[in-house]
Structures are given as C-alpha cells and as structure tokens.
Chains A and B, each alone.
Chain A
Amino acid sequence: MIEMMLYTALVLFGVSIAIALFRIIFGPSLPDRVVALDMIGVHLISAIAIISLILGTKSFLEVILILGVLAFIGTIVFSKYIERGVVIERKRDL
C-alpha cells in the first residue's frame, strides 16, 4: 500500500516536471522560462526525497540541501541578468 502510494507520488511529480518543461520550451518571454525553471528545481528536490524513501537510504538527503541552494542562486542570477543586462557589474558610478 505504502509502496504504491510512493510510486504514484513519484509519477505525479514527473508529470508536473514535464508540464513545466513544456512552459520552458514554448514560453513567450524570458521570465516565464525562469519561473518554470525554478519550479522544476523545487520539484526535483521532492522527487529526490521520494526516491530516497523508496530506495531506503539516507545518502540522498545531502543532495536535497545542495540542490535547494543551487536552484535559489540560479534564480537570483537570472533575475539580476534580466533586470540589469549583466551578471557581474565591474564599473559602478555611485
């Protein structure tokens, strides 16, 4: 019963990642794509949590933390690139 529920949840997360992939491919603007990319990162975290439950190991729990940090920093960098046009500003005139 519990195995069946876990596999169903994994399949549903795969479906939602596939739908977000559709938005990345056909998104009309760049922030659409970044929103969908952030959503894929967040859903991948929970898919990895379910995989670590199914395999019965504790070794994937570091992956959750590091993937969360990387998805957050990637979204921050993309938002700065969209707003300013560069990622690292070299000259600043204050």
Chain B
Amino acid sequence: MNVSVIFEFIAALMILVGSIISVISALGIIRFPDVYTRSHAAAKSSTLAVLLTLSGTFLYFWASESLISVRLILGILFVFITAPVACHLIIRAAYRSNVKMSNLTIEDELKDVLRDKEQ
C-alpha cells in the first residue's frame, strides 16, 4: 500500500468524522429549549466540524496532488477566528433585545448589572 493512499484514507476519515459532528450539532440546534443553549450547539461543534472537514480537504490535496493550497489555509484560519465571534455577537444582541430564556434557567447574573441600569 502506498503512502499517499494511507494519507488519503486518513483525510477521508477526518471528513467523515466532521460530517457526523455536524449532524450532532444540527440535532442540538433542534432539541435545545432556547436561543442561548442553541448558540452553544451552533458555535462550538459546528466550528469543529468545519475545521475537521477543511483540514481533511487540505490533507487530501496534499497527499494526492502534492498541492499546498494557501487559499484553503486562509479559509481554515478565517473560519476558526470568525465563527465564535459571530455567534457571540448575535447572542449579545439577543440578550439586549430581551429574548426570553427558557423556564429551566436557574440564574441570570447579567440581570442585576444590565436591567437595573436601563431603568
């Protein structure tokens, strides 16, 4: 068995694991009770799935065609930096526009700081 075939198999395995993690993240986004917990599923595991898939693509191109794609490295870095930032901003906007939490929420520590200042 050739070396490049082994690396292609490892890359395809990384892509498959990434797709399974993305399905788990989609299940999280449909099962969780309110928007704050849904953002937990949508930010972390979705970022992990995309990073695994893009790294697998990079490894596959490197093994099969001996191509180091700079655009793919830039895409990996950009997704890794911006996906948690975007999710943080949208949840900050949701909290400031008074989206209701679910009934299972035990404690809201920002309530004393933020809501009393507005009144």
Q: Which residues of A contact B (CB under 8 A)?
A: 1-2, 5-6, 8-10, 12-13, 15-17, 19-20, 22-23, 29, 31-32, 34-36, 38-39, 42-43, 45-46, 49-50, 52-53, 58, 61-62, 64-65, 68-69, 71-72, 75-76, 78-80, 82-83
Complex Cα distance, B49 from A29, in Å, reads 26
CB-based contact B15/A6 at 8 Å: yes
Pairs A–B under 8 Å by Cβ, sample size 14: A16-B25, A22-B30, A29-B99, A31-B99, A38-B42, A39-B26, A46-B22, A46-B53, A50-B15, A61-B69, A62-B71, A79-B86, A79-B92, A82-B94
Complex Cα distance, B99 from A42, in Å, reads 24
CB-based contact B93/A83 at 8 Å: yes
A82-B90 contact in complex given A31-B99, A38-B42, A53-B57, C-beta closer than 8 Å: yes
Q: B63-92: contact bitstring with A at CB < 8 Å (1 yes, 0 no)?
A: 000010101101100110011011101111
CB-based contact B29/A83 at 8 Å: no
Task: For the A-B complex with A12-B19, A12-B22, A42-B46 known, give 20 more contacts whose Cβ atoms are closer than 8 Å.
Answer: A2-B9, A5-B13, A9-B19, A19-B27, A22-B30, A23-B30, A32-B35, A36-B42, A42-B47, A45-B54, A45-B75, A50-B53, A61-B69, A62-B71, A64-B54, A64-B75, A68-B79, A78-B90, A79-B86, A83-B96
Hey, which chain B residues are within 8 Å of A22, CB to CB? 30
Considering only CB atoms and an 8 Å cut-off, how many residues of chain B contact the other chain? Answer: 51
Complex Cα distance, B8 from A53, in Å, reads 11
Hey, which chain B residues are within 8 Å of A8, CB to CB? 16, 19
CB-based contact A61/B71 at 8 Å: yes
Hey, which chain B residues are within 8 Å of A17, CB to CB? 26
Hey, which chain A residues are within 8 Å of B18, CB to CB? 9, 46
Q: Say whether B114 faces chain A, with CB atoms less than 8 Å apart.
A: no
CB-based contact B87/A65 at 8 Å: no
